[in-house]
Chain A
Amino acid sequence: MFKILKRDVLAENVIRIKIDAPYIAKKAMAGQFVIVIPNENSERIPLTVADYDRSLGTLTLIFQVVGRTTEELAALDEGDSVYSVAGPLGRASEFEGMKKVAVVGGGLGCAIAYPQAKALHEAGVCVDMIAGFRNSSLVILEKEMRAVSKNLIMMTDDGSYGEKGLVTDALRKMIDGGAGYDAVIAIGPPVMMKFVSLLTKQYGIKTIVSMNPIMIDGTGMCGGCRLTVDGKTKFACVDGPDFDGHSVDFDELIRRNNMYKEQEKQSMSLREHFCRLYKLSDGN
């Protein structure tokens, strides 16, 4: 069991937990992920390493409550234990030769983009960050991101915080303004990564995206996380999770991520049904 040492809510439905996992903390690198099982009967889900402390032996994960499993994880409090955490898995991000980089995060993707920006910043790379959210209530990690970037541009879809618009608008403006990036790292919803990659392709700027598909074991065993890169099938868990954004078949990825939509809906509506029942009985 892996004890939760600290838990805080970063934004609506976005939770950060720090867990006791000395062996993983010792090896974890930016870009890698772990497989988490909240309770004994839960699903195995991949979560990217948000931070780690090698001396304290702690691992930080940030997740958004989107379905049954993340709900189960969210229900665990400080002092409770996560049933299983295995990792670090996947290849660490490679930053070799980068001098000036734009790191683009979308929503929860900022939780993964941030450690990459931090690693780049610590390696002496000049980092600009563009962080996009649907609205002001979902903004996370602003202070942390600001600390590791030369420029931090905050964007919201509805303009309720920072500038109104999409991350691609901000990225285009920066590139057109002569930012001179030699690489762009984009992490967020597949649709966002797709459009960032389409944009940077026009400018011929190398673009790295981080995949977070459905997977079970995270060690190459199931093949559930397969995606098409440059016409070839790759496993996100062992060949990635970072890939060349200009080579990924995003449309296929988006389709595959919707594979269990129906079951997820059923599972959630069943839970809501029970929740309502409990509320009723509480009221009595």
Chain B
Amino acid sequence: MPNMQKEKTAMPEQLPDVRNKNFSEVALGYSEEQALNEAQRCLHCKNAPCVTGCPVSVRIPEFLALAAKGDFVGAYHVIKSTNSLPAVCGRVCPQETQCEGKCVRGIKGEPVGIGRLERFCADRAMKLMKEKSPDESEGATNSAEDSCIEKKAFTSEGDDGIKVAVIGSGPAGLSCAGDLSSRGYKVTVFEALHKAGGVLVYGIPEFRLPKDIVASEIKELEKKGVDIQCNMVIGKVLSIDELFDAGFKAVFVSTGAGLPRFMGIEGENSNGVYSANEFLTRVNLMKAYRSDYGTPVRAGKAVAVVGGGNVAMDAARCAKRLGAEKVYVIYRRSEAEMPARREEIHHAKEEGIDFRFLTNPVRINADEKGNCRFITCVRMELGEPDESGRRRPVAVDGSEYDIDVDTVIIAVGTVPNPLIRMTTPGLDTDRHGCIITSDGVTTTKQGVYAGGDAVTGAATVILAMGAGRQAAQKIDEYIKGLSKKTE
């Protein structure tokens, strides 16, 4: 008999007034007892609607059945067979609009906490694996450490296995690399930054996704034989055509949407005005919040974050943790239109973030030294629906008012980086700079596949991972077709 408890088993969390002063994880994870209790809430529907809601088709009822019996490692292997990064997805997937959104238990009560259980199984299995091989130290080995020796390896002749290159080590790239490696390909992932993980390391903060979790997931991939080359800015140090010349049979472009958009308002280049990308990179990748790291960041006393997505929530919550007394989120529509996850908005409110809905900045005002002093905003009201279907915000005449802030973080979206586009003849992109594909992953250039934010524009981790999986399948078909032709 399933456990008919109506609500999800609650997730223990750090208290808001404690956690808004540290960078440790907010959600503490289930105990074994809580995990068993929650797993037993699954009804094991025959048609499994939850699976249809998952971009990588995790076999959810199957893993929940094993978890309900206490076989968490078995459950982990079921998840891992279609999802390269379970510990990551368990934490950052928007389950409420995916698997859990389709859960039958959600009709009369709350859905099964699939994400929380995915996280528990992954954490448990990885902990056990670590205990088994304690000689392996924590953290990714792929950082610059041994890249010089390995750099020679990826062009050497006589390698066994067919070589495939993946550009970018974010969720799409890692997922594609994992799947290709399982299919027997020799995969090299090229990363421009000095650490692998893409948005998982530079964007999403430690308190939502601990970096040692990301490092462990990447280490698992490396153990499978995936070679990760950091500090390699493809498009600059090597072009895609040169990768083909070096013997790679196919290339997967998963370079994300890393170029920040600004608003184009007066004073935006004042000191203290950051793109969310810069602010989060300083904090997360460069660890500016730790005194033993060299990178500085200016959070100031009062911070305004402009935007309403998850990135805006992350930036606001980081600013609070860096000691800002007052943190505002300025969003031009109302709370209902906010693209951020409800859970993130809720967490941010609990931590003391001040939301200014229906408000839009028009000017950033600086002192004579160029330092930001206050931001001038205008009140908005919602008019007719626009092309996104949401009601278009319209400025209210004469409603300007000022908010004193010394830091402004612009989180109004990102667009794909042009480095690959500019150096790859034959790879077509649309007017937003997104790579054009015929079926979601196949580009206009032979042997080149693409996925994730580089194709869709800024979206979610799991959609990118789904594209990575799909591309791995297409690349496999393509390469098999090539060898048939030559036979």
Q: A residues within 8 Å of B by Cβ?
A: 1-3, 20, 22-24, 27, 37, 40-44, 68-69, 72, 81, 83-89, 216-224, 226-228, 233, 238, 252, 255-256, 258-260, 263-264, 267
Contacts and interface: CB of A to CB of B under 8 A. Distances in A.
B231 A233 contact: no
A41 B290 CA distance: 10
Q: Does more than half of chain B's interface fall in helix, strand or loop, or is it mixed?
A: loop
Contact of A219 (B269, B275, B298, B417): B417
Contact of A3 (B148, B232, B262): B148
B151 interface: yes
B298 A259 contact: yes
A221 B296 contact: no
A69 B296 CA distance: 11
B13 interface: no
Given A23-B151, A44-B286, A221 B417 contact: yes
Contacts, number: 134
B273 to A, nearest CB: 9
B153 interface: no
Contacts of A255: 271, 369-370
A224 B409 CA distance: 12
A217 B260 contact: no
Interface in B108-153: 143-148, 151
22 contacts: A1-B146, A2-B144, A22-B151, A23-B151, A23-B237, A41-B293, A43-B296, A44-B295, A72-B294, A83-B194, A84-B144, A84-B231, A85-B231, A87-B233, A217-B193, A219-B192, A221-B259, A222-B277, A223-B274, A223-B277, A258-B370, A263-B298
Contact of A86 (B194, B258, B264, B418): B194
Contacts of B259: 220-221
A119 B260 CA distance: 34
A220 B258 contact: yes
Q: Does more than half of chain A's interface fall in helix, strand or loop, or is it mixed?
A: mixed
A24 B148 contact: no
Interface of B: 143-148, 151, 192-194, 202, 230-233, 236-238, 258-260, 262, 264, 268-269, 271-272, 274-275, 277-278, 281-282, 286-287, 292-296, 298, 369-370, 417-419
Given A68-B294, A223-B278, 6 more contacts: A3-B148, A37-B194, A72-B294, A220-B259, A233-B269, A252-B269
A24 B417 contact: no
A220 B417 contact: yes
A2 B296 CA distance: 24
B144 A1 contact: yes
A267 B308 CA distance: 35
Most chain B Cβ neighbours within 10 Å, of A72, A89, A216, A264: A216
Contacts of B151: 22-23
Given A43-B295, A89-B236, A222 B281 contact: yes
A40 B194 CA distance: 9
Most chain B Cβ neighbours within 10 Å, of A3, A27, A222, A227: A222
Contacts of B238: 23, 27
Nearest to A82: B144
A221 B260 contact: yes
Contacts of A252: 269, 370
Contacts of B296: 43, 260, 263-264, 267
B419 A216 contact: no
Contacts of A84: 143-144, 194, 230-231
B205 to A, nearest CB: 16
A59 to B, nearest CB: 12
Nearest to B194: A84
